[in-house]
Amino acid sequence: MSDQQHCPGFESNKSLSEVIVKCPGCGQEIELFSDETSKQVKCSNCSLLFDPTASEDS
């Protein structure tokens, strides 16, 4: 509740970078903000839940 006192808007997102991840199930590209890669993502195409960091080769 208290964290919705004002809309964050686009300005506050400047510190976040956009990350494109591919769904391991269907190959759908999904756009995330960098702070969303620490949690599971649901593919908008096939509804598969996956961990975006697991698909990175490093």
Judged by the rule CB under 5 A, the positions of this chain that interact with Zn ion are 23, 25-26, 28, 43, 45-46, 48
Of the pair 27, 33, the CB lying nearest Zn ion is at 27
Of the pair 25, 35, the CB lying nearest Zn ion is at 25
Q: Give min distance, CB of 9 to Zn ion, in A.
A: 30
Q: Give min distance, CB of 29 to Zn ion, in A.
A: 10
Query: Are the C-beta atoms of residues 28 and 22 closer than 8 Å to each other?
Result: yes
